[in-house]
Chains A and B, each alone.
Chain A
Amino acid sequence: MQTERFVAAMAAVILLAGTVSALAHHNTSSRYDEANPITLTGTVIRFRLINPHSQLEFEVKDENGNVTKWTAEAGPPSGMYRRGWRVDEVKPGDQITVTGEPAFDGSKTMGMKKLVAPSGKVLQ
């Protein structure tokens, strides 16, 4: 019984690891609902201008105080940089407003379209 549980747990870990990697390198147009964008306000956990998709991790608190972690995925860093984004654009703890296309699979991920930084700067 213990062995079966261990094997099942390891299988779950391996499956989850594969899923995380796949999310980071997918064809974005087939994963995100472009027709129904959403806007969230939250607190930055981490922001990275990174290949192949830049990543913004942030927390959203609802009216009951429940916190949900979201990941907003954007384009490659070179394109972002040319549109005015910089590596220190937002920092952990910053309050931001993010507009993006939610993932079809219901996970707390989105394709980022617009970010309003604490400075008021709007990045698209």
Chain B
Amino acid sequence: MRSHRILGILSVLGLLAALAVSPALRAQSAPRQPDLSGVWSRINSPGSNSDSFTFEEPPMTPWAEKRYKLVREGVRGFEQGREDLDQMLWPYCMVPGTPRAYLRPGPIEIVQTPKGVFITFEGHRTTRAIYLDGRKHPEGAPATFLGHSTGRWDGETLLAETVNINRLTWLDGLGHPHTEALRIEERFRRVSPNRLEIDFLFHDPGAYTRPWGGKKEFDLKPDWELMEYGICYDPSELEVMKLWEKALGEPW
């Protein structure tokens, strides 16, 4: 009996020692990062603002206030900003960029790999990359609609940082402006098998006197495929199609 007990203790000690020295065994026993992959549909619950990230107005600098006041002229309540000043709408049809893409119609599809998390938006069919390979934001790169994003895991939360977003985008559908110095923090958490939460925080001292943001929630849609949504997609309204018909002498 006593010898069995000693044998048992030695076995446990041996296993612990093996775990301590074996990277493979350590990896197998380490907590797994969640997989964010899937098609996710945003939940527009009564408590959430479907055209922004919060119902509260963030405190703005005079620069931002002047621009925001302009896009809210003639607009009621929480309706979207002035259509004639929205470069995302007809006839300009620019992509919404980030983070506004999260507020557009349609689900998102996340594909997670060791190199990065890739998010495709059905709205305007745009894809952004959050690189997880330790790279830095490039110096001297031109600003873009989606900016440049890097991320890392903090336990079961994916932390992402996005910079270098051009000024051809609104932060949200209401028309909140931003400078090119905008820095966005996102925290992705798969809080349950079918629920994804993303917390947003916008840092832009040139436009806002403190960081602001909010949370968006998504439901998993395992049977959905991404389709397409966009603004300038109706061929009957496009000048180029009229040119086609004129050149062809028949319906294009």
Contacts and interface: CB of A to CB of B under 8 A. Distances in A.
Contact of A30 (B79, B106, B224): B79
Task: Tell me whether chain A's interface is mostly helix, strand or loop, or mixed.
Answer: helix
Contacts of A76: 105-106, 229
Given A22-B83, A25-B90, A76-B106, A51 B76 contact: no
Task: Tell me whether chain B's interface is mostly helix, strand or loop, or mixed.
Answer: loop
A78 B83 contact: no
Contacts of B83: 22, 25-27
B91 A52 contact: no
Contacts of B105: 75-76, 78-79
Contacts, number: 50
Query: Chain B interface residue count: which class?
Result: 20 to 34
A82 interface: yes
A21 B229 CA distance: 17
A111 interface: no
Interface stretch (B28-36, B180-188, B192-200, B230-238): B230-238
B89 A29 contact: no
Contacts of B237: 20-21, 24
A20 B224 CA distance: 33
A50 B234 CA distance: 7
A78 B228 contact: yes
A30 B76 contact: yes
A104 interface: no
Interface in B47-83: 75-76, 79-80, 83
Given A25-B231, A30-B75, 11 more contacts: A21-B91, A22-B83, A25-B83, A26-B83, A51-B233, A75-B105, A76-B229, A77-B229, A78-B105, A78-B122, A79-B105
For the complex of A and B, list the 3 residue pairs with the smallest distance between their C-beta atoms, beginning with the closest.
Answer: A51-B233, A78-B227, A25-B90
